[in-house]
Amino acid sequence: MGELERRVWPVERLEVRAAEESAAPVIEGYAAVFDSLSVDLGGWRERIAPGAFGRTIGESDVRALWDHDAKYVLGRNRSGTLGLEEDARGLKIAVVPPGFFSTSARTVSRSA
């Protein structure tokens, strides 16, 4: 079996918020920023070009995962719990996480 390659870097400007007491928490931020070098990925870096996500957003079933683990799906575009938008800056995401994550998210947003 081949080696597993993981590419991980922080989501820029990630925020967890609840608009009102009864509202579900929302995770928002940019999953990728255009024309900016990534962190060092083991001797090389990536730069993402504008337009890189357009086709995928329109055609694919995209999932937001906790720690890249497919057992923990935070949101999914086809279910309406993951919003994806490519704007001039990059790939903007908005996730309404499921119950297992919501309790922690509410605690974080209230303490911020």
20-77 residue pLDDT tens: 555 677 888 888 899 988 888 889 999 999 999 999 998 999 999 888 888 889 999 9
Phi first, then psi: give them for residue 88, nearest 5 degrees: -65, -25
Residue ranges of domains in the chain = 15-111
State the DSSP code for 108. Answer: H
At residue 18 the predicted structure's pLDDT band, cuts being 50, 70 and 90, is low
pTM (two decimals): 0.68
Helix (H) or strand (E) holding 84: strand 82-86
Report the C-alpha gap between 74 and 50 in whole angstroms.
Answer: 25
Phi first, then psi: give them for residue 35, nearest 5 degrees: 55, 35
Q: Which residues pair with 50 in a beta bridge?
A: none
